[in-house]
């Protein structure tokens, strides 16, 4: 009875009002747990279209020759393609993969499986989309430009933090911009989260990619777009990040919890936005090829003015794990270089609106951004 009267009130409070809330796709199936990679074969089996339609595994080349690769459940004409994550994914790299797959097989694959970090997960999403959509990948960078459903695709993270396993975007460096293919068809059909797969991650990389998650939380929770949906995921993710980076967990526990922090962090920004660190980090990435995790850290350390508590926590975590961030990244840059980075950053309007509100242009000027970049 209470519920009913509450609902009635809601309608009465917003009579005939048009709303435009996003109707957000989520990963429909997820398996979580140490060792669950052995179940991949049984998960894929019902999704196999027929014996001529292979599963294509896009695998981070850090695993080439490893025990993990020997456990990939290959049958019929399934194929593994090793890909380096030394550089972040590019639109023409996606186009090359599409040509290769179309040349190698007469039929569309049964599915694409990405095994690796954000780089491989994003490539798998983009390839799954471009197998059914015409043209080049760069034509789809933006929001809701994808016309046809992608083929079945599975994400298997081997490092935790980006939230790429849950998001509806795949971030690609194109000829003109670094921008995601944001669409309802981007989201994975299946995610397999086996914390054991993250065991070999080097400490520095563990910190940088984990801090991507931490920064997602801080930017979401301190943004003007915040709402109960984002807050609920953001708070949980932040709590897990604190446990992992400041607490006293066993290694097993830390791996499990960071994997769930990444998931929740990704869910949090799905319904809000990131903020200052991400906007500026995109500039660094575009001009200098600085990778996402470390780029966010390089910027975030200088953002105490915007995120005082977040930066204090960040410094504590950095100290506890004895991480030295590189210095002098922007020291040799020309004025023109700074302008390029500033333009990329300022172009990310929704991020600034989230961070600082609709009047953000009064707070953030090119000079202001230059002064922060110069500290990096
Ligand atoms: P990554 O995929 O770039 O990998 C980082 C490094 O870790 C690589 O050298 C890789 O080989 C190594 N690595 C990964 N797993 C390992 C393991 N188990 N053992 C040893 N080494 C391992 O790292 P990332 O930080 O996860 O991803 C960054 C990318 O994610 C960027 O391209 C960024 O744009 C993208 N991203 C996407 C989203 C999204 O929503 N789609 C969100 C954030 C970031
Ligand atoms: Zn990020």
pLDDT tens-digit map of 97-130: 999 999 999 999 999 999 999 999 999 999 999 9
pLDDT tens-digit map of 326-370: 999 999 999 999 999 999 999 999 999 999 999 999 999 999 999
Quote the ligand 2 centre to 82 CA distance (angstroms).
24
pLDDT tens-digit map of 22-52: 899 999 999 999 999 999 999 999 999 999 9
194 lines ligand 1 (CB under 6 A): no
Tell which atom from ligand 1 comes closest to the C-alpha of 178. Answer: 34
pLDDT tens-digit map of 70-89: 999 999 999 999 999 999 99
Quote the ligand 2 centre to 25 CA distance (angstroms).
19
Give all strands (DSSP E) within the chain, no chain letters. Answer: 29-32, 55-60, 79-83, 111-116, 142-143, 153-157, 171-173, 178-182, 190-193
Q: Which pLDDT value is given to residue 13? A: 66
Q: From edge to edge, which strands make up the β-sheet containing 190-193?
A: 29-32, 190-193, 153-157, 111-116, 55-60, 79-83
What's the CA gap between 168 and 166, in Å, rounded? 7
Residue 179's DSSP bridge partners are: 172
pLDDT tens-digit map of 279-293: 999 999 999 999 999
Query: Any idea what the Cα angle at residue 311 is, between residues 200 and 245, rounded to 5°?
Result: 30
pLDDT tens-digit map of 240-272: 999 999 999 999 999 999 999 999 999 999 999
Q: Which pLDDT value is given to residue 11? A: 47
Other CB atoms within a 10 A radius of the CB of residue 344 amount to 21
**% residues pLDDT > 70 (the chain):** 96
pLDDT tens-digit map of 205-234: 999 999 999 999 999 999 999 999 999 999
118 lines ligand 1 (CB under 6 A): yes
What's the CA gap between 373 and 376, in Å, rounded? 5
Task: Identify whether the C-beta of residue 198 lies closer than 8 Å to the C-beta of residue 252.
Answer: no
Strands 153-157 and 79-83: unpaired
Q: Which of 46, 37, 31, 117 is nearest to 73 (CA)?
A: 37
The residue whose CB lies within 8 Å of the most ligand 1 atoms, and thus the one to mutate among 114, 116, 177, is 116
- 254-284 burial, b at 16+ Cβ within 10 Å, e below that, comes to bbbbbbbbbbbbbbbbbbbbbbbbbbbbbbb
Residues near ion ligand 2 (CB < 5 Å) are 212
Structure tokens at 170: 């795949």
272 lines ligand 1 (CB under 6 A): no
pLDDT tens-digit map of 154-182: 999 999 999 999 999 999 999 888 889 99
Q: Which pLDDT value is given to residue 17? A: 83
């Amino acid at each position: 009875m209470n519920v009913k009267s509450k609902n009635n009130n809601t309608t009465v409070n917003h009579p005939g009002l048009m709303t435009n809330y996003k109707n957000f796709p989520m990963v429909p199936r997820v398996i979580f747990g140490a060792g669950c990679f052995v179940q991949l074969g049984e998960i894929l089996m019902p999704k196999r279209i027929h014996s001529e339609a292979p599963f294509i595994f896009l695998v981070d080349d850090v695993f080439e020759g490893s025990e993990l690769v020997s456990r990939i459940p290959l049958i019929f004409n399934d194929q593994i393609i090793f890909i380096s994550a030394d550089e972040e994914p590019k639109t023409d790299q996606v186009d090359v993969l599409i040509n290769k797959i179309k040349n190698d097989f007469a039929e569309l694959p049964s599915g694409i499986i990405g095994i690796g970090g954000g780089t491989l997960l994003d490539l798998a999403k983009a390839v799954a989309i471009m197998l059914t959509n015409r043209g080049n990948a760069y034509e789809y960078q933006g929001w809701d430009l994808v016309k046809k459903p992608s083929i079945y695709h599975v994400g298997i993270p081997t490092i935790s933090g980006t939230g790429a396993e849950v998001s509806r975007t795949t971030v690609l460096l194109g000829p003109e911009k670094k921008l995601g293919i944001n669409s309802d068809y981007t989201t994975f059909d299946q995610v397999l989260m086996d914390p054991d797969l993250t065991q070999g991650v080097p400490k520095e990389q563990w910190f940088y990619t984990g801090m991507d998650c931490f920064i997602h939380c801080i930017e979401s929770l301190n943004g003007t777009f915040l709402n109960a949906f984002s807050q609920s995921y953001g708070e949980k993710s932040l709590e897990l990040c604190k446990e992992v980076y400041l607490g006293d967990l066993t290694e097993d526990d830390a791996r499990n919890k960071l994997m769930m922090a990444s998931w929740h962090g990704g869910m949090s920004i799905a319904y809000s936005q990131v903020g200052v660190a991400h906007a500026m980090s995109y500039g660094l990435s575009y001009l200098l090829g600085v990778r996402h995790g470390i780029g966010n850290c390089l910027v975030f350390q200088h953002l105490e003015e915007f995120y005082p508590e977040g930066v204090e926590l960040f410094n504590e975590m950095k100290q506890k794990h004895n991480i030295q961030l590189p210095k002098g990244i922007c020291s040799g840059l020309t004025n023109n270089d700074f302008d390029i980075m500033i333009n990329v950053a300022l172009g990310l309007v929704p991020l600034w609106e989230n961070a600082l509100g609709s009047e953000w242009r009064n707070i953030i000027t090119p000079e202001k951004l230059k002064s922060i970049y110069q500290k990096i």
